[in-house]
């Protein structure tokens, strides 16, 4: 059996705000740590029947990119739900929400 590992390294400023994030993975695209501006990680706790979320972004990440990151993360969940469960209706409902969020972001960016 093969083991795989994903590692995140986060450099914090004196107020514990992330300045930089590096990530690497056993099966990742590089043999060296790569920079990223954000992480969104969800962990399911079966015993508590709830989700723990870890959301981190660097202080230099623009707000508009944060919003896009959130929308794309939600959209990715639609694909996961459809592929893993076959629930096309739920996936489409999530995609419809993403479309509404894109319009919201565009409307508020132009102001």
- Cα distance between residue 88 and residue 79, in whole Å: 9
Do residues 25 and 4 lie in contact, with contact meaning Cβ atoms separated by under 8 Å?
yes
Burial class for 88, CB neighbours closer than 10 Å (0-12, 13-18, 19+) = exposed
pTM tops 0.95, yes or no: no
Do residues 34 and 28 lie in contact, with contact meaning Cβ atoms separated by under 8 Å?
yes
Instruction: Count other C-beta atoms under 10 Å from residue 52's C-beta.
Output: 10
What digits encode the pLDDT tens for the residues 48-94?
999 999 999 999 999 999 999 999 999 999 999 999 999 999 999 99
What digits encode the pLDDT tens for the residues 34-55?
999 999 999 999 999 999 999 9
List 25's β-bridge partners, or say none.
6
């Amino acid at each position: 059996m093969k083991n795989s590992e994903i590692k995140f390294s986060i450099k914090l400023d004196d107020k514990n705000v992330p300045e930089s994030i590096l990530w690497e993975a056993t099966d990742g695209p590089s043999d060296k740590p790569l920079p990223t501006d954000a992480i969104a990680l969800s962990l399911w706790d079966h015993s508590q029947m709830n989700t723990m979320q870890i959301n981190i972004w660097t202080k230099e990440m623009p707000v508009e990119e944060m919003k896009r990151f959130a929308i794309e993360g939600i959209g990715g969940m639609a694909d996961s739900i459809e592929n893993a469960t076959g629930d096309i209706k739920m996936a489409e409902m999530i995609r419809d929400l993403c479309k509404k969020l894109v319009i919201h972001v565009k409307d508020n960016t132009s102001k």
